Amino acid sequence: MRRLTREHFVTEMSKANAPAYVVEDGETVVVETIDAAGGFMGRDGVRRQGARGGNPATGPIEAKGSQPGEAIAVTIHEVRVADWGYIAGVDKDAKATIIEMAGGVATYPWGLRLPVRPVIGVIGTAPPGEAIPTTVPSDWGGNLDTVDICAGATVCLPVAVSGALLALGDVHALQGESECCGTGIECFAEVTATVRRVRNPVWPKVHVVRNDKLMVFAHSEDLDAAAWDAVADMAKLLTKLTGLPDIQARRLLSTAGDVAISQIVNPKKTCRAIIPRAAIPASWPF
């Protein structure tokens, strides 16, 4: 299995980025990632000065053969985190809280021990227009900060430029819904994933499948708008998959699905609408 090292990274998703790696259709690789501070956070909780922007994402990774209008499916098999991480946010002048990690357990300074549940905060492809910083979420992925983007999930990302130019990073060893203080447990990590070409994607924007649940995403500076946009997009997708009219698709989502807040801390907030396989058993596309 090939290893894609963290020495090659980007801080914006851009069609102008030259690929650092090329993966074959269906290839499984290990991707090394840097923490959100670009490696400049010290184990004493003090951030050093450095030139890297926020949320470095390893890549770009060319998904060989993928073409505009298609998608790539990134199936996450395992996320291995480093032996320590940090929590920042709330007060930018305060020291970060250092979290020791061993044996799949995160230990807080006051003795609390919680099992890690690693999340990939940033995963995306290059957009067709202007570059998008890796601190920002978009229809092409990016800084989604979503707890469902973890081992066992498949992230489907639209392809706007040949090769997709996938990049990923900003792993959190543990994060709650909304990431309300601004960070999870930020850490270095190694992600084992398979990248596949999808010639006929079911949805033209980023979408995720995990535990027999399908989710779509929307982003806005206004949280209500992000939630309602996610509802509208899921209704469109349900209509496409099932043939239900919009009103019935929305009623189905209201009774059998969920709307969740992925994050409230980025330049645009992210919500996701979720529908379980049990609600559309005859139309499940995966």
pLDDT tens digits, one per residue of 170-189: 999 999 999 999 999 999 99
Q: Does domain 211-279 have CATH number 3.40.50.300?
A: no
Instruction: Tally Cβ neighbours within 10 Å of residue 151.
Output: 18
Of residues 171, 205, 201, the one with CA closest to residue 189 = 171
Q: Pick out the chain residues at pLDDT < 70.
A: 50-53
Report how far residue 191's alpha carbon sits from residue 79's, in angstroms, rounded to the nearest whole number: 5
Task: Break the chain into its structural domains and give their ranges.
Answer: 2-133+151-198, 211-279
Of residues 18, 155, 128, the one with CA closest to residue 69 = 128
User: Which pLDDT value is given to residue 104?
Assistant: 98
Q: Does domain 2-133+151-198 have CATH number 2.60.120.580?
A: yes
pTM of this prediction exceeds 0.95: yes
User: Which pLDDT value is given to residue 49?
Assistant: 76
Report how far residue 279's alpha carbon sits from residue 276's, in angstroms, rounded to the nearest whole number: 6
Burial of 212: CB neighbours in 10 Å, binned 0-12, 13-18, 19+? exposed
Of residues 85, 94, 93, the one with CA closest to residue 114 = 85
The reply to whether 211-279 shares the fold of 2-133+151-198 is no
